[in-house]
Amino acid sequence: MQSLHIRNEPTKTIDRGQLDKGEDYWTLNRIVTVVVADFVLIAENDKCFNRFQWYNINDGTLLTNAQEIDILELPKLPAEDDGSRLWKWLRFFKSRREDEMEELAKENNAMKEIMYTLREMSADEYERRLAEKIEDDERSRRAEIEYGRMEGEARAKLETALRMKEKGYAVSDIEDVTGLSPEEIAKL
């Protein structure tokens, strides 16, 4: 079997722990990738389950079964139960109602565990949203306080400038004390 070189870089093994020096490729662990899609990925057929492996396109000879991609498309799931575990799992994933998921999980411990995890995640989601709301409220409160402080400072500057102007202070002195521009002082 030849090595594959890309851009003149040496071949790299993804998991060097699987192969020791002198071992052959067929000793590698099998890799199965499962894609659960909530949309139609393969428009060429109406099957909800498609399996892909490495084949010779000329004669259909399987190169290896060491790698496989299983694609499960929820929109293609038949409405009627065919009695298979796959149908139940896809129906479970497709469910939007908790009571339907619970019904499917009655006889399947793995689904029960997922239901428990989903409930925990939902509770965590609620807690997360509550914490975000509290943080947003606190941020708004601080912004209101800061806005009020800035408004108060601006009002105090204007009042000070007005009193100084009424007492005949020079515009340059009012400008130094209040930080207001000559145009702002002139409007008073």
Domain ranges of the chain: 1-79
Q: What is the pLDDT of residue 56?
A: 92
pLDDT mean across residues, the chain: 83
pLDDT of 28 higher than 90: no
| SS3 assignment, position 8 | coil
Structure tokens at 158: 């204007």
| CA 169 vs CA 161, 165, 173: distances in Å | 9, 6, 7
Where residue 24 falls among pLDDT bands split at 50, 70, 90? confident
Q: With 0-12 CB in 10 A as exposed, 13-18 as middle and 19+ as buried, what is 72?
A: buried
Q: With 0-12 CB in 10 A as exposed, 13-18 as middle and 19+ as buried, what is 42?
A: middle
Tell me if 28 sits within 8 A of 17, measured CB to CB.
Answer: no
In the chain, what percentage of residues exceed pLDDT 90? Answer: 38
Q: What is the pLDDT of residue 17?
A: 61
Tell me if 65 sits within 8 A of 32, measured CB to CB.
Answer: no
d(CA 67, CA 149): 65
pLDDT of 20 higher than 80: no
Is this prediction's pTM over 0.75? no
In the chain, what percentage of residues exceed pLDDT 70? Answer: 88
Across 60-88, average pLDDT: 91
Where residue 144 falls among pLDDT bands split at 50, 70, 90? very high
Name the maximum alpha-carbon separation found in the chain.
103
Q: What is the pLDDT of residue 132?
A: 80
Give the tens place of pLDDT for each residue, 29-55. Answer: 788 999 999 999 999 999 999 999 998
Tell me if 171 sits within 8 A of 177, measured CB to CB.
Answer: no
d(CA 72, CA 51): 9
Where residue 128 falls among pLDDT bands split at 50, 70, 90? confident
Where residue 18 falls among pLDDT bands split at 50, 70, 90? low
Where residue 135 falls among pLDDT bands split at 50, 70, 90? confident
Q: What is the pLDDT of residue 14?
A: 46
| SS3 assignment, position 27 | helix
